[in-house]
Each structure stands twice: as structure tokens, then as C-alpha cells.
Amino acid sequence: MAGARGVALGGLGLLAVTLAVGLAAYSTGILKIYEPPRLREADMVGTWTDGGGGSLRFEANGTVTAKGVKKYEATGMQSGAYNCTGKWQLTENEGVSRPYELRIADCENLSIGWDIGGTKEHPTVFTWIGKPDSGERYILTRQR
């Protein structure tokens, strides 16, 4: 019984040390919580590609053109591609986990669930595919 108690106390001690080190690293700025890059509409203008032939072209006048953007079913299976033109808008949300909402309208069903990710130097536009807990995303990166 004393051996089990020692293991339990050792485990609790290790947990306490891990939490203390993590808290210290976060409070000193060594560790940071990820935040998507803060982009402006001007940062979105240009072509974003998936590396496999699909692209979104955002124009300064609010027009977006999709060419070969992969279409996915709720199961995560690819089911074709979007080739359409519509309108886009980037709006800022205050105090939420998604600081930006990228809306695409009038372009088939392409309007659903686009997010901003990556870093300031290498931003991405993505949408989740498949089941919510799958962690799979369809990602497009900005071309220079």
C-alpha cells in the first residue's frame, strides 16, 4: 500500500511541476497561445492555391473566382470541384476564437466555413472537412 501511495504522490508532484513550468513559460512569453494572423482585406487580394490545381482569386472590388476548388461531402469524401464567381467579404469578430469571418457569397455552396490560419508571414485560408473531430482541413496558401 505504501508503494502505491508513493507512486500516486510522485504522479501528483510531477503534475504540479509540469503545471508550474507551463504557467511560468506562458507568463514570461516563452510560450504563446496561437492566434491566427490579423489580415486586412488588402492582404487577401490575390490568388490562393491548394497546391493541386485549385485556387481562389480574391479581387479588391470584392469579387472572388474559384477554379478547381475541391468540394467535400460531410463524410470528408471529395465530390467534385467548384468553378464559379461570387463575392467575398472579410469581417472582424471581437473577442471570439475566430477573429475573422471570411464570407463567400453567390458561388454555389462555397460560402460555408472559411477561416484564416497560418502565420502573418505565411497566411492560409482553410475550411474543415469531414466530421468536426477529424481535424482535417482543406488549405489554400497565398501566392506571391
22 CB-near residues (< 8 Å, 6+ apart): 31
Please name every residue paired with 102 in a beta bridge, in sequence order, or none if there are none: 90, 114
Question: For 110-143, what is each residue's pLDDT tens digit?
Answer: 877 899 999 999 999 999 998 878 889 999 999 9
pLDDT band at 13 (very low <50, low <70, confident <90, very high): low
Are the beta carbons of 84 and 138 closer than 8 angstroms?
Answer: no
Are the beta carbons of 94 and 103 closer than 8 angstroms?
Answer: no
**pLDDT at position 91:** 86
Identity of the amino acid at 86? G
Question: For 76-106, what is each residue's pLDDT tens digit?
Answer: 999 999 999 999 999 887 766 677 788 899 9
Are the beta carbons of 81 and 52 closer than 8 angstroms?
Answer: no
